[in-house]
Amino acid sequence: MATLRLAERNIASCEVCTPDLAEIPFDYVLDIVTGSDPEETDYVMPEPAHCPNCNSPVLTGYWRWYTTEQGGRKVFVLPGTLVVLKQD
């Protein structure tokens, strides 16, 4: 998947190897690479990206609206891996 590889190339490190520096969600990196609207896009990846520094899997976040038993709407959020962008 070209988009995934492209996003991977924009990462310097991740929250596993540089927890004090990583503050950008990987989804945001994908948004930059694809130019997609973050409100509209969910990324389905056939394989995880990997941190070029420590080789840990780098995952996208996930969120879905769901309806509660009371009829309200709530959002379930699973945050993606935080990364450090590569400085050009």
Binding site for Zn ion (CB under 5 A): 13-14, 16-17, 51, 53-54, 56
Nearer to Zn ion, 11 or 43 (CB): 11
Spatial CA neighbour of 8 closest among 42, 45, 52, 47:
52
The nearest distance, CB 68 to Zn ion, in angstroms, is 37
The nearest distance, CB 23 to Zn ion, in angstroms, is 14
The nearest distance, CB 24 to Zn ion, in angstroms, is 13
Q: How far apart are the first and last CA of the chain?
A: 23
Helix 2-9 and helix 26-34: axis angle, to 10°? Answer: 120
Q: State the residue number with the nearest CB to Zn ion.
A: 51
Contact at 8 Å (CB) between 61 and 80? Answer: yes
